[in-house]
Structure 1
Amino acid sequence: MTAQVRAATPGFFDLSTKSYVQQAMFVMAGTMVLALASKISVPMIPVPITMQTFAVTMVGALYGWRLGTLTVLAWLGEAMLGLPVLAGASSGLAPFVGPTAGYLVSFPIMAALVGFLTQKGINGHRPVAGLLLHLAANALGLTLGWLWLSGLLGAEKAWIAGVAPFILGAVLKSALAAAVLKVIALRTESAK
Structure 2
Amino acid sequence: MAPRGDGLATEWLTVRPLPATPSAIDLYQLSLRRDAPEWLPRPKSGPWKNSADAWRELRALADRPDAEGVQFDARGCLSEGVRSSLAWWDGACWNFPSVETGRLPGTAAAQLRGVLAQAGRPVRDVSWPGFPANALSVLVLRSTFDGGAVPARSYHAEGRLTWQPSGPQVEATRALALLAAWRAQRCMSFA
* TM-score where L is the length of structure 2: 0.29
Please identify which structure carries the higher helix content. 1
Higher Cα Rg, which structure: 2
* TM-score where L is the length of structure 1: 0.29
